[in-house]
Structure 1
Amino acid sequence: MMLPFTFTTEMAEAHQAVGFQFTVRPDGVELKLSQEVIKNIYLSGLTVWKKKAIQFKNSVLTGVYPASPSSWLIVVIAMMSSLYTNTDLSLGMIDAIKENLPHRGYMSAQTRAVLSAILFGTGLWLFLIYLLRYTLKALLSYHGWIFESHGKMSSSTKLWLYLVKMFSGRRPLLYSFQASLPRLPVPRVDDTIRRYLESVRPLLDKEQYSQMETLANDFKESKASQLQRYLILKSWWATNYVSDWWEEFIYLRGRGPIMVNSNFYIMDLLYITPTHRQAARAGNIVHAMLQYRRKLERGEHAPLRALGTVPMCSTQMERMFNTTRIPGIETDVVQHLSDRKHLIVYHKGRFFQVWLYTGGRHLLPSELEMQFQRILNDTTEPQPGELKLAALTAGNRVPWAQARIKHFSHGVNKTSLDAIESAAFFLTLDDESQGYDGVKKNSLDSYAKSLLHGKCYDRWFDKSFTLISYPNGKMGVNVEHSWADAPIVGHMWEYVLATDCFHLCYSEEGHCKGDANRGLPFPTRLQWQISKECQDVIEASYLSAKKIADDVDFHGHLFTEFGKGLIKKCRTSPDAFIQLALQLAQFRDQGVFCLTYESSMTRMFRDGRTETVRSCTSEAVAFVRAMEDVSATNAQRLSLFQKAAEKHQNMYRLAMTGSGIDRHLFCLYIVSKYLGADSPFLNKVLSEPWRLSTSQTPQQQLNLVDINKFPKYVGAGGGFGPVADDGYGVSYIIVGENLITFHISSKFSSPNTDSYRFGQNIQRAMIDIQTLFTLEHDKKTPDCLQLQNGKKHI
């Protein structure tokens, strides 16, 4: 009698629909193994071990940096050579080690001598490594170079720069400098309070300022020293006294929606769309991201360095992929997993799981295109409750956390949710075209709103980032903010766009290049069993999120009159120029000055994130008032502008070098809450609204694309939602020499704000400031007024 029994399985590592068969017979079991299975098992295992070997090698290189493993051999050989030349380089320490070796009775004298020399050489090598690191850390603690005028480097700074280069070693990896980065210093309380009072002086009348001064002095004389001691103690213990509290209290403990209020977006190339085939563009972009992730996991990206020499912290990059913000009742947590081999794709209300590897390698761009096209061609309907499921991540955090515990902690719902939260990232194949169109008036506005919130249920706002693909080939990214700041994702996005356009490219028909393996299994639909009760929670989250999304007034403004090329010819910092233009635009728009937030980075310190530059200074106010005073001359206005620009630059430098105001006050406030030491001064400071919140999107890898050769391959930057109910959020990017893109947000519900109007005020302010560089009464026109198109703005 023969009992047939056949079992087929999918190989998760190989992600191929091939398997093995065995048949139970009376005389035994007949086993048939597929050659494809064996091949894929072999290739997958080989890839894993190769990856582990590379990671181990790079971890060793990073661990001993700025030395190298070969330097150990040199030191040990030198110590051993001294044994044969009767030159004791160890000053007797090798002999001491030889006499105290355990089990020395079982070794010959020569063996003990060699082993002692090796041990001493290794110890000396480790000592030299730490000496080099601490020397480099001491050098990097010097920030005098940043306060010097542009193009005027002192002899001491040149010497310092030479020493930094000398101690930095050769060919550093991404994390090579981490151990050498200095810690963020805790500013003196007196300095912080003095700078704070200086920052609010132009915003308060005499009575209000007197009250604030009294609160500040009371705080300084009573609670400040106690709170400061705890903060200094933390700075000795933690690698950064700000970053962990900033992530927890500013981001993770917030119980309101993160959509619009926290998440931000980054746009595609402004003028160029390499292909109009949605699946093809998504295939190239995803493949480029996988290449970036592989280099990231191996630590092979070059560390970002100011002046090409001063290293920046790379800690935030660790959580770029395989990361999800998990909702909690009181606080969220950021879950980061090791390498994950799948991607979750959302299309028309359905969730699909797509494997990213086959046979131990990444799927090729053409194979990814095929998989995405299969999803686009799928005509199945969403399951009950599936269409708007992602709205849970867009609404308030507590209902989402409760629903996750009650409805997604078991069964198929848990399995599917785990697949989403463990995915490398989230991809939405959108069904409505977006992108900049010079003919359509509001195309950039619509594009921004789509990236920021979409339909409120077609992005998984908890993922580290959601990649968004449009039917016309445009792309974009929505980013969860708690795990990192915009420059981190910007670094990845610059690499991906350059790789897509200049390395992977497309066929003449717009498809990804290369042949695809047609035997790949189809993407798998995630399964859900969503109860009516859970559907009600989803709908409530959706309605809450939709109310927020509908209130966002967004305007993308392209400023093409001039760019950083002209501004630099006027010997002015482009950032200071724009910030003062924003102050002028704000005053013209609202008729009053307001507390202004500009983000600056502190990544020259270990685990550094951001600091605030308070751009509305007394000098900026004096300049703006002169611009609006018809009796003021251009010479007077220009003089005030230069003073205000210099003041702004100095504040920016202070923020970058750890002497900012707001992070110190924030941490003092957190300590006061832990100790139960309530402070009216800190309460007042932390409750002040930022009615103008600004940020610059930096270009970090200018070597990737030659803008002069490919002037149309420029990014559009990104933006964020309004911070205050009655204020503006402004993000800007300076691209090339002749383009500045502004992303302006506000709320329709505010009767006093209008994003389009603010964009027009920025346009006018930029041009008005530029005219100041005409000498009084137009006696002489300097070179900086000559635009590339030959026009002048007088």
Structure 2
Amino acid sequence: MERYLIAMQPLVTTSQLERTRAIVKAFSAPGAHGTRLQLYLNEQRELKDNWAYEYWINDMYMNNPLPLPVNSNPGMVFPPRKFTTVHDVARYAARLLDGVLDHKEILDKKALPIERATSREKGQPLCMTQYYRLLTSCRMPGKVQDSLYSRLEDNQDVKNNNEHIIVACRNQFYCVAVKATDRGRLTEDEICSQFLHILNDAPCLASPPPVGLLTGDNRRKWGDNRESLYQDERNRRNLDLIAKSLLLICLDEPLPANFNARALRTSSSSSASGNLDETNRGGYVGYIAGHRDETNMAHQMLHGGGSSLNSANRWFDKTVQFVISNDGVNGLCYEHSPAEGIAVIQLIEQLLKKCDELPPGSHAPATLHSHLPPPERLEWQLDARMHRSIQEAAQNIDGLVEDLDLYVHRFTGYGKNYIKSCNVSPDVYLQLALQLTYFRLYGHLVTTYESASTRRYHLGRVDCIRSATQEALNWVTAMCQGEGGGLKSPPDSEVSDDELLNMGKKVTFSLYTEQKKLELWDAAVKRQTEIMIDNIMGQGIDIHLLGLREAARETAPTAAHPLPDIFLDETYRIANNFLLSTSQLPTTSDTFMGYGPVVPDGYGASYNPHPDMIVFCLSAFHSSETTSTWKFAHSLEESLTAMQKLTQLKNSK
């Protein structure tokens, strides 16, 4: 409770903090409600492998009704490939899949090496459960709550040695058997042949109803629609095949180089009915990856581009979806609930290394292997109600895509090599850079989320590093003293924006010496480091608070019994309104991952520090009057430059 108060001090008004302090005191007094709930959690700890896991996954994912694209599923951009013919597309897809099958065999033998902590009690084993969920899971929508299907827990499927994937091409879905008890695993050439069949077959077919769009709709609506689809035997088989597949491979059309997400509404109506004309469907084949920037590529991985492009060529519930566009742009969209980014990145880097290291093989066109049955195309039985639902889903996903403000920014001034020379963790450094950036734009700090791995514990996933500390506020205030123009008043402030702007214009010199800024910097670094260590060692506050809240619900005399005041308090609402949602997603390859904001007026900010540069993927919503990724990137550039000047001064002493 003390840590909670300390965390909220720089984010709320004095009166709010004093009210919360009184609530906390009453809640945590001996024999009070909080201590009784703590005893309940202690009992749950003895009964469960991880008392927090179910609370956490339900709160983070299963109870969230928002559509998966943009709001939940991250996207990952791989280095573009050079495709000359359709055979190159098929060969690359086959090589990726062959690598996945190698990896799956290791998983089936439970032979994945156990990772160990590399800092803070080095050598502790880390939980590997989420690595085993990647290729065995599918998120299932529900009318009340989502659930996570796992083949590992499916008694009917656990002994099944057969493996299949789903391939999406021009909104058609194909089932490809890649391993069978009667003939074993397909070779890379045989897999390539199956992809060629699909690439030749799909363009010759009439446009199908874009059923995939349903998976990108509100989770409760999709849960209702899925239940209706499941009543038909053919649909039921299709849905089961998709849920039990290893993964999806989405063979896409490229986004246009001048892709404008905000212009989608003009074209969504035709695609929703499944009558997209061939000009729109194939009109972008001439674009090459060199004409598309990284922001464009990230859009394709996050959502597909809308209903008139590739959003129906997805099944957003599936954990792993490889996206391969015929212009060489490729990457991944993944459903987040089974695993964190670290498990995904490890698999991807392994696969990309295989694609780059293995000899390209025969450049002669792969032949269609006549001894193999062709891939099974999935056909759907849809009534008028379902067609209307697809049209509504198209409008909804197009609105979501149109609203997404996305910007990929490569900062080339320096990278993690320089940061490490300052004896600072790159993650700590960049978290403080994000705090400085936000303060430069708005004049105050906001609730910030950074994921911290808790894999030292069985079934551990993440807790929240709260980077907006009082020490960070003291430092950014000193750094921005005298800048003036960018300041805005914090929420509930008695000082208006205009008054603050005038104040900023009057103060044109810094009241802080460089030495004082360095002292405040050191304090901010120390505090951020302490919070990071607390979280990875299992001493964060957010999972614990969540547990106490859910314990209150479970032990309430009636369902209508109110929660304790601490969870109804305005400070608690602010504490969980993450206007900055951030994550370090480091890779050794030239790949990067991004995601959308988690609140309407917020930012998403992932960062990937390389030795001599840093890749940021920034997101916001156009519908917000207060956010702009371009302005954020510009402020971020200024912040990183100012931080280098400050730290160089320290290094020179």
Query: Into which bin does the TM-score normalised by the smaller protein fall?
Result: 0.7 to 0.9
Matched, 1:209 2:17: yes
Give the 3-state SS of the residue equivalent to 2:568 in structure 1.
Answer: helix
Matched, 1:263 2:73: yes
For 1:691, the equivalent position in structure 2 comes to: 579
One-letter identity of the residue aligned with 1:404: R
What is the alpha-carbon distance in structure 1 between the residues aligned to residue 235 and residue 12 of structure 2?
55
Instruction: Decide whether the 8 Å contact of 2:166 with 2:175 is kept in 1.
Output: yes
CA shift, 1:729, in A, is: 0.7
CA shift, 1:781, in A, is: 4.2
Matched, 1:579 2:431: yes
Matched, 1:367 2:190: yes
One-letter identity of the residue aligned with 1:506: P
Change in Cα spacing, 1:434 to 1:470, as seen in structure 2 (3 Å) is: farther
Change in Cα spacing, 1:774 to 1:324, as seen in structure 2 (3 Å) is: closer
Matched, 1:465 2:340: no
Change in Cα spacing, 1:274 to 1:601, as seen in structure 2 (3 Å) is: farther
What is the alpha-carbon distance in structure 1 between the residues aligned to residue 365 and residue 441 of structure 2?
48
Change in Cα spacing, 1:226 to 1:430, as seen in structure 2 (3 Å) is: same
Aligned residues: 566
For 1:726, the equivalent position in structure 2 comes to: 601
What is the alpha-carbon distance in structure 1 between the residues aligned to residue 43 and residue 430 of structure 2?
39
For 1:153, the equivalent position in structure 2 comes to: none
Instruction: Decide whether the 8 Å contact of 1:434 with 1:472 is kept in 2.
Output: no
What is the alpha-carbon distance in structure 2 between the residues aligned to residue 535 and residue 273 of structure 1?
37
Instruction: Decide whether the 8 Å contact of 1:716 with 1:741 is kept in 2.
Output: no
Alignment of 1:456-495 (within 5 A): 456-495=311-350
Instruction: Decide whether the 8 Å contact of 1:596 with 1:614 is kept in 2.
Output: yes
Change in Cα spacing, 1:521 to 1:570, as seen in structure 2 (3 Å) is: same
CA shift, 1:246, in A, is: 1.0
What is the alpha-carbon distance in structure 2 between the residues aligned to residue 432 and residue 361 of structure 1?
35
Give the 3-state SS of the residue equivalent to 2:9 in structure 1.
Answer: helix
CA shift, 1:218, in A, is: 2.0
Normalising by structure 2, report the TM-score. Answer: 0.82
Instruction: Decide whether the 8 Å contact of 1:352 with 1:526 is kept in 2.
Output: yes
Give the 3-state SS of the residue equivalent to 2:648 in structure 1.
Answer: coil
For 1:756, the equivalent position in structure 2 comes to: 630
One-letter identity of the residue aligned with 1:286: L
CA shift, 1:519, in A, is: 2.9
One-letter identity of the residue aligned with 2:323: I
Matched, 1:220 2:44: no
CA shift, 1:631, in A, is: 3.1
For 2:93, the equivalent position in structure 1 comes to: 282
Instruction: Decide whether the 8 Å contact of 1:388 with 1:539 is kept in 2.
Output: no
For 1:424, the equivalent position in structure 2 comes to: 246
Instruction: Decide whether the 8 Å contact of 1:366 with 1:511 is kept in 2.
Output: no
Instruction: Decide whether the 8 Å contact of 1:434 with 1:443 is kept in 2.
Output: no
Matched, 1:746 2:620: yes
One-letter identity of the residue aligned with 2:565: P
Pick which of 471-480 and 651-660 moved more.
Answer: 471-480
For 1:672, the equivalent position in structure 2 comes to: 552
CA shift, 1:365, in A, is: 2.2
Give the 3-state SS of the residue equivalent to 2:22 in structure 1.
Answer: helix
One-letter identity of the residue aligned with 1:328: G
What is the alpha-carbon distance in structure 1 between the residues aligned to residue 209 and residue 331 of structure 2?
21
What is the alpha-carbon distance in structure 1 between the residues aligned to residue 416 and residue 147 of structure 2?
40
CA shift, 1:367, in A, is: 2.1
Instruction: Decide whether the 8 Å contact of 2:255 with 2:300 is kept in 1.
Output: no
Change in Cα spacing, 1:632 to 1:509, as seen in structure 2 (3 Å) is: farther
What is the alpha-carbon distance in structure 2 between the residues aligned to residue 233 and residue 274 of structure 1?
58
CA shift, 1:275, in A, is: 5.2
CA shift, 1:285, in A, is: 0.7
CA shift, 1:575, in A, is: 0.8
Give the 3-state SS of the residue equivalent to 1:202 in structure 2.
Answer: coil
What is the alpha-carbon distance in structure 2 between the residues aligned to residue 592 and residue 387 of structure 1?
49
For 2:524, the equivalent position in structure 1 comes to: 644
CA shift, 1:366, in A, is: 2.4
Structure 2: state its 5+ residue gaps: 152-157, 258-286, 482-509, 557-561
One-letter identity of the residue aligned with 1:332: D
CA shift, 1:312, in A, is: 0.8
Give the 3-state SS of the residue equivalent to 1:257 in structure 2.
Answer: coil
What is the alpha-carbon distance in structure 2 between the residues aligned to residue 751 and residue 275 of structure 1?
41
CA shift, 1:491, in A, is: 1.6
For 1:772, the equivalent position in structure 2 comes to: 646
One-letter identity of the residue aligned with 1:592: H
Pick which of 718-727 and 366-375 moved more.
Answer: 366-375
Instruction: Decide whether the 8 Å contact of 2:170 with 2:203 is kept in 1.
Output: no
CA shift, 1:731, in A, is: 0.7
Give the 3-state SS of the residue equivalent to 2:45 in structure 1.
Answer: helix
- CA RMSD in angstroms comes to 2.3
CA shift, 1:511, in A, is: 7.1
For 1:200, the equivalent position in structure 2 comes to: 8
For 2:360, the equivalent position in structure 1 comes to: 506
Matched, 1:616 2:468: yes
Q: Deviations over 1:611-669 (max 9, x none)?
A: 10110001101110110122322222122111101110110000011110111001101
Matched, 1:301 2:105: no
For 1:541, the equivalent position in structure 2 comes to: 393
CA shift, 1:510, in A, is: 9.1
Higher relative contact order (CA 8 A, sep 6+): 2
CA shift, 1:594, in A, is: 0.6
Alignment of 1:406-445 (within 5 A): 406-432=228-254, 443-445=293-295
Instruction: Decide whether the 8 Å contact of 1:313 with 1:606 is kept in 2.
Output: yes
Computing the radius of gyration from Cα coordinates, the structure with the larger value is 1
Instruction: Decide whether the 8 Å contact of 2:289 with 2:327 is kept in 1.
Output: no
Alignment of 1:333-348 (within 5 A): 333-337=147-151, 338=158, 340-348=162-170
Change in Cα spacing, 1:219 to 1:659, as seen in structure 2 (3 Å) is: same
What is the alpha-carbon distance in structure 2 between the residues aligned to residue 319 and residue 259 of structure 1?
20
Alignment of 1:375-414 (within 5 A): 375-379=198-202, 386-414=208-236
Change in Cα spacing, 1:552 to 1:325, as seen in structure 2 (3 Å) is: same
What is the alpha-carbon distance in structure 2 between the residues aligned to residue 437 and residue 756 of structure 1?
25
Change in Cα spacing, 1:445 to 1:387, as seen in structure 2 (3 Å) is: farther
What percent of counterpart residues are identical? 29
Change in Cα spacing, 1:254 to 1:773, as seen in structure 2 (3 Å) is: closer
Pick which of 471-480 and 760-769 moved more.
Answer: 471-480
Matched, 1:607 2:470: no
Pick one of 286, 303, 315 that aligns with 1:453: 303
Give the 3-state SS of the residue equivalent to 2:10 in structure 1.
Answer: helix
CA shift, 1:313, in A, is: 0.4
What is the alpha-carbon distance in structure 2 between the residues aligned to residue 437 and residue 636 of structure 1?
52
CA shift, 1:686, in A, is: 4.8
Change in Cα spacing, 1:434 to 1:210, as seen in structure 2 (3 Å) is: same
Q: Deviations over 1:86-117 (max 9, x none)?
A: xxxxxxxxxxxxxxxxxxxxxxxxxxxxxxxx
CA shift, 1:544, in A, is: 1.6
Instruction: Decide whether the 8 Å contact of 1:694 with 1:729 is kept in 2.
Output: yes
What is the alpha-carbon distance in structure 1 between the residues aligned to residue 205 and residue 45 of structure 2?
52
Alignment of 1:782-793 (within 5 A): none
Change in Cα spacing, 1:781 to 1:325, as seen in structure 2 (3 Å) is: same
Q: Deviations over 1:534-571 (max 9, x none)?
A: 11112112212221121110011111211111111111
What is the alpha-carbon distance in structure 1 between the residues aligned to residue 362 and residue 639 of structure 2?
45
Give the 3-state SS of the residue equivalent to 1:588 in structure 2.
Answer: helix
What is the alpha-carbon distance in structure 1 between the residues aligned to residue 289 and residue 331 of structure 2?
18
